[in-house]
Copies of this chain bind each other. A is one copy, B any other.
Amino acid sequence: MSPTINNQSPKYYIDGVLQNDIAILSRAITLVESTNETHKLVAKQILEGVLSKTGNSFRLGITGVPGVGKSTFIESFGKIVVEKGHKLAVLAVDPSSNKSKGSILGDKTRMEELSAMQNVYIRPSPSSGSLGGIAKATYETTLLCEAAGFDFIIVETVGVGQSEVAVSKITDFFLLLMLAGAGDELQGIKRGIMEMADSIVITKADGKNLEKAKAAKMEFAQAMHYLQLPESGFVPKVEVCSAIENKGIKEIYDLIINYKAYTIANDYFDKKRKDQQFELLLGAIDDRLKAVFYDDKKIRKILSEIKSNQNNKNLLPFGLGIDLVNEFLFRNSG
């Protein structure tokens, strides 16, 4: 017998998602995000039931520090996406919202016009949990949205900490939003983020900021020039835009569509998705191995004794690590 949630079977959710029933989609996403064991079992069956209908979207990751204007950008950009005939889902990953209680999407005035549009679905992702947990929830939410017919998915994250790494691993194109600051434009950027970016957009290029933004564009383009050409073969672009004046937004849409056509033509699009899937699998394996091991009663007892033992001079960490794993793995296979 299938497990049920609120007396609803996996089939109820599968049918609802495939029929683009937004209320059921939202509840299915909640199940995918849940850490409850029954919920996880139902979520797995839902995902398996919709899997053949997934994959048919363009997955766009967007990152940038707080204040760069991510919401304003996505509001303007998202309208173009919808005008072009796409069904758009916006997922927000915000690991910081643990403290700030949902800084990305808690405020309902954010993306006001976009959220009122037909064919647009906006959803914050779970804010807590490990990086692996965030990647899992966001990836599987993407699959559910695709199964519901959304063919353009934006995954938004704050460019601090490590969540942008997780997002870059589950999206087709990773866009870095930057501000034209005063002085050295390259100050404060993590080099690793620039290397992950498929392109950079300098926001708020309007009014007194316009000249600064243009200068920053040149500086960034030069910096990008020193980085290795990405595996995609697509040379990262640096663009400026003003979401308020609605300038340069359409050009970024064209840039992304060009990237898609370019990487489909050179077979990188599918290769990247396949590589990502395999990387996610390896990450899931590592997480699961550790979870089962550290959840073992006997192991927990031993580790807690070691930790509280004040005299651990006679402990060989590498030898003991091997012994503990061997004892755990082979205790039942006698």
> A-side interface residues toward B, CB under 8 Å?
44, 47-48, 51-52, 54-55, 136, 139-140, 143, 274, 277-278, 280-290, 292-293, 303, 306-307, 310, 312-322, 324-326, 329, 332-333
Tell me the bound Cα distance from A325 to B292 in angstroms: 9
Complex Cα distance A317/B278, Å? 7
Smallest CB separation, A144 vs chain B (Å):
12
A31 to chain B, nearest CB (A): 13
Known: A278-B307, A321-B285. A52 touches B314 (CB 8 A): yes
Q: List 24 A-B contacts (CB under 8 A).
A: A48-B316, A48-B319, A51-B316, A52-B313, A140-B316, A143-B316, A274-B312, A277-B312, A277-B315, A280-B318, A284-B317, A284-B320, A284-B321, A286-B290, A287-B321, A288-B321, A288-B326, A289-B289, A289-B293, A292-B325, A292-B326, A329-B329, A332-B332, A333-B333
Q: List, in ascending order, chain B residues with CB within 8 A of A286's CB.
A: 286, 290
A316/B47 contact (C-beta < 8 A), A329-B292, A332-B332 known:
yes
A285 contacts B325, C-beta separation under 8 Å:
yes
Q: Which residues of B contact A320 (CB under 8 A)?
A: 281, 284
Min C-beta distance of A274 to chain B, whole Å: 6
Contact present for B318 and A139 (CB under 8 Å) = yes
On whether the beta carbons of B306 and A281 are closer than 8 Å, the reply is: yes
State the Cβ distance, A140 to closest chain B Cβ, in Å. 7
Complex alpha-carbon distance, A143 and B319, angstroms: 13
